[in-house]
Amino acid sequence: MAMASATSSLTILRSPSAFVSTLSHATKMLMRSGSFQPSNRGNGEVRKEEVVIVGGGIAGLATAVSLDRLGVKSTVLEQAESFRSGGTSLTLSKNGWSVLDAIGVANRLRSQFSQIEGQELRGVERRILLETLAAELPKGAIQFSSKLARIEPTSEGDILLELADGSKLHATTVIGCDGIGSPIAKWMGFHEPKYVGYCAIRGLATYSDGQPYEPRVNYFYGRGVRAAYVPVSPTKVYWFVCFNSPSPGPSTTDSSVLKKQAKELVRNWPSELLDIVDSTPDDTIIRNPLADRWLWPTISPPASTGRIVLVGDAWHPMTPNLGQGACCALEDAVVLAKKLAGAINSKDQYSVEEAFRSYGSERWRRVFPLTVRAHLVGSILQWENPLVCSIRNKIIIPKLASLKPMLEHTNFTCESLQEEKQ
């Protein structure tokens, strides 16, 4: 079953008009930091940019910062009015931290979040990660309220982009970081991500007087349902509940409904789970149907078309069962930035396309096996048969947890981009 896209598909742009830049008052914090400012409206011009990044999530901002470290400026188009004030958390393994070290923001984040079981593993609040990356960008780099509506390569070799408000711009290079429902990926011929048969409810509990849990990941397995929680900081705990569902189900953002459903799913499990759910602010609870896309060799489209390329979930959405979605997006960002910066600095008009092909080939060998592996792990963890679940819990999970190769996917290192720029 294909999961419905959260965003509308792209259509072909037919004629130019005035460029309008619309930005939200909710971005005052970024304006003060210098990474964002509104531009003039109604100037009757189609703005020209060398590099445009569509999507201001983890992949988009990490790509923009990586490029900036290498001397390449970019414009980030984000459809939301601002970064969410709430939101949940994610876990970053050592490969994700290696990238954050390379772009020079890791230590700023390490100081805010708890290390798990002595490893280079931490839960990180998504909002804080985004704001930290955004603060590294130069003034005017991020443009909010900028939803992409149409795209068309021009006869001159540029890409013409039109936003939902009718404003337009020419880009020499477009990097699609527009997430799991990516309209750019659909325009490039990718199929919709496929629903994997289970959903997740996630949240970030808050304890103003300090959370009482040890710095480790706590897992609970049932029949067709599982849960986990992990301390993120001295006052916050990230949690999730995954449950089988024959369909993605109706979309709801009603926190009271989601809390009730989560508590019902874990009602017979340790009481701390119920306490954690009850301690979760409404604006941090979300429910998502989980989906992935397998990039079959010779069947799936390549990561790039001309000077348009995909990064992160826009290209290779994967289930969160290995905790590698955000980490792989960060890896993509730094690999692509190095190749693109090298191509731009070479002044060879064909080298950008070659750089994108090289990026796609290198990263496919990394992300395709991880996508498949995450899918298979999730299938095992969502088993429902009582006998099979008993064997899984008593034999399979302890055995897998003791194998060193289970963590080999976190082996990824890269040199400091700041040093390379020098």
- Segment-wise mean pLDDT, segments of 10 residues, the chain, 422 residues: 40 33 37 44 72 97 98 96 83 96 96 91 96 95 96 92 95 97 96 98 97 96 97 97 94 90 96 97 94 96 97 98 97 97 82 96 97 97 97 91 74 81 53
Q: Tell me whether residue 240 is in a domain.
A: yes
What pLDDT was estimated at residue 280? Answer: 96
Domain boundary among 274, 292, 310: 292
CA-to-CA distance for 354 and 382, rounded, in angstroms?
41
Q: At what angle do helices 271-278 and 255-265 cross, to 10 degrees?
A: 180
Whether residue 319 sits in one domain with residue 174: yes
Quick one: residue 264, left, alpha or beta (phi over 0 = left, psi -120 to 50 = alpha)?
alpha
Give the tokens for residue 55. Answer: 């999507």
- Under 8 Å between Cβ of 322 and 374: yes
What pLDDT was estimated at residue 408? Answer: 85
Q: How many domains does the chain have?
A: 2
Whether residue 384 sits in one domain with residue 248: no
Whether residue 141 sits in one domain with residue 115: yes
Q: Tell me whether residue 237 is in a domain.
A: yes
| Helices and strands per DSSP (H, E), number in the chain | 13, 15
- Under 8 Å between Cβ of 318 and 375: yes
Whether residue 272 sits in one domain with residue 402: no
- ∠ CA(290), CA(292), CA(295), 5° rounding? 180
Whether residue 56 sits in one domain with residue 110: yes
Whether residue 171 sits in one domain with residue 57: yes
Whether residue 350 sits in one domain with residue 241: no
| Containing structural domain, residue 170 | 47-193+294-410
Give the tokens for residue 233. Answer: 């900081």
Q: Tell me whether residue 416 is in a domain.
A: no
- Under 8 Å between Cβ of 392 and 343: no
What pLDDT was estimated at residue 50? Answer: 95
Alpha helices, H only, 204-295: 255-265, 271-278
